Structures are given as C-alpha cells and as structure tokens.
Amino acid sequence: MQTKKSIESSTHCAACSNPVRPGTPAKRHHARHNGETYTLCHCQNCDLQFWWPLKADPSVYEDEGFEAYEDYHSGARPFPRWAEPLFPLLSGKRGAALDIGCGDGAVLHRLAAIGFEANGIDLDRKSIQVAHRKFGLDKAVVAALDDYVAGCRASDTHFDIITFFEVLEHQDAPREFLSQVIVLGKPGSLVAGSVPNRNRFLARLDRKLSDGDLPPHHFLWFSPRSLKSLLESMGLRDVSVVEIGALPYRQILGKLGVVTSRKARRWPRLMRPLAPVLKALFPLAAVVPWLGMRLAPSHLFFKGRIPEMGERQGVPSSPD
C-alpha cells in the first residue's frame, strides 16, 4: 500500500501529468468493498481531483458494490437525465453509434429508435443481459475496451458517434481511455458523455450517504474547467461543457424514499420505527434539494468532435 511519503514524492496528475501532492490535512477514504485506503489529490495545474492509488476494481459492478447497480440489474433504472442533451445534437444525423459503458442499454435504445446502428460495450455482464432482455440490443456486448478496440482495428470498423455517460470518472488512466475513443471514431465524429459535477449541491452529504462517488467506484472528480482541459488536451475540437441534471420535485421525493428504505435495513431495530416519521417529512425536505440542484446541478454534459484529417496535427498518438 502507498504511504503518505511515497504518494507525495511520486504522484502525477492523471490528466496532465503535473506533479501532485495530497491536501493538508490529507483526505482519505477506506473502501468497504475491497478494504483499500485511498488518498484524494488535487492538481493545481488543470484542477482535476483524483484518488490514489489509481487502480480500477471491476468487481464493484457485478458484485453490486454500489447500490445503484441493483436498479441496473433489475431493469428498473429510469432513463439517465444527463444523457438528454445528446439528442438535440443528432437532428438529421445517422450512422453507427457506440456507447461505451452502455449499462442496461437505455441510451442505445434511444439511438436505435432515431435510426442509428446501436453498438455498446460494458464490463458488467448483468447489465448487458438487461440490455438484451429489455431492449433487444444484440450488439451490446461484454467486453473490455482494449479488446474491443483490437477487434475494430482488425475489421477496420469506425463509428459516427461515440458516447460514454458516467464512465470517464471511473477510469484509472483517462488519457489512454480517450486515445482509444479517438481511434474508434471516424474523422469528424461526435464524442459526447457526462460525468458527475464535483461541485454539485450537497455533494458532501451525498458522499456520506453513499459510496457511489468514491473509489473504487469513482476515481476522478471533475469541475467544468478540469473536464474541458482534459478533453482539449487529447485533441478533441469544439469542446463544450454544460451543467445539467436538476431533478423534478416528484423524482426527488422518490429517491429520498428509496435511500431511506435501503439505509433503514442497516439500522438497529430500535431505530427502525423512525423511518415512517422521516418519510412524513419528505415533502418539506425535498424542497431544499429541488432548489439547490438548480443552482449547482448534479452533472456535467460534454461534447466535442474528433479532428478531421487536416486537423490532426498535435493530436496525441493512440496507445499500441
């Protein structure tokens, strides 16, 4: 395990390679899922925050190490609101689409409905089974990105649009990931996706209530500045980042109920009678996040395009 001393002397930013040290005092997280201890680092050069050690743990998905995967695997997850800004960009466009980290296939299903050839990959076998069963997406497959890129290179397959919603924050090597995305796209292809907004309303409370925004689930915490900087540094053109994701009031009420029910399972028996009392207060309590989400939305939607052949100068080369 990395010690504080070794972290301070050897860590570099995952996005720009700038030397980085932990904050003072150091912020650490002990993950229940794998017993690892992680340290939060903040790059002063590009503004990225990331957790060290940067080492992905794919078991967190199928083992439901984050409670939202219970919804993914049951097929009950609502359509992700942070993907909605994609579709106004696609008016009149058609072609082959690839959704990386496609999960249960909800985004692919919408893309197929407007005429795109829908392809998707995910590491989570259970979610891919939902994509097949619920949406009939036979080109959604279980695959690591490295293997998928190798297969596409062998068949000379490229895509007109590549999306990855709530995927980039999971990466332990984001530059290598984006290099592979660029390899998969045609010149001029649209690249779009989303990440959680690290400055969202009640982010600290969210992280106390759930491990979903902490490692080994999420390793990278983005601000609009750090996200735009990373995408542009990889050579993407016409990059824009917008804050999105304010929930409707009724949906906030529903989420409060779900979170309380799940947490109540772990309460001592003497505390469980408090759950109905808390639920009675939800209509008033929901007003606060409803307003707060409009001031500091939950997600960052981004878009850019892969350079045309004449614009390729300065684009980082892809990994072998």
Q: What residue ranges define each of the domains in the chain, with the CATH number in brackets?
A: 61-195+237-245+297-311 (3.40.50.150), 249-293 (no CATH)
Overall average pLDDT of the 285-299 stretch: 86
- Cβ(41)–Cβ(51) below 8 Å: yes
CA-CA-CA-CA dihedral for 202, 203, 209, 213, to nearest 10: 160
Overall average pLDDT of the 56-81 stretch: 70
What is the average pLDDT score of the chain?
87
pLDDT at 317 exceeding the cut of 60: no
pLDDT at 1 exceeding the cut of 60: no
Burial class (CB in 10 A: 0-12, 13-18, 19+), 152: middle
Q: Is this structure's pTM higher than 0.95?
A: no
| Token pair belonging to 279 | 């639920």
- Cβ(122)–Cβ(87) below 8 Å: no
| Residues constituting the chain | 320
pLDDT at position 127, please? 92
pLDDT at position 16, please? 96
Identify which has the larger pLDDT, 176 or 317: 176
pLDDT at position 65, please? 47
Overall average pLDDT of the 269-276 stretch: 72
**Strands 96-100 and 117-122: what pairing?**
parallel
The helix, strand and coil proportions of the chain, stated in percent and rounded to the nearest 5, come to: 40, 20, 40
Identify which has the larger pLDDT, 229 or 290: 229
Please report which confidence band the pLDDT of residue 253 belongs to, taking 50, 70 and 90 as the band edges. confident
Identify which has the larger pLDDT, 123 or 75: 123
Query: Residues 92-110, buried b or exposed e (16+ Cβ, 10 A)?
Result: eeeebbbbbbbbbbbbbbb
- Cβ(137)–Cβ(108) below 8 Å: yes
- Cβ(168)–Cβ(193) below 8 Å: yes
Overall average pLDDT of the 173-184 stretch: 97
| Token pair belonging to 93 | 């466009």
| Token pair belonging to 315 | 């684009």
pLDDT at position 5, please? 46
pLDDT at 11 exceeding the cut of 80: yes
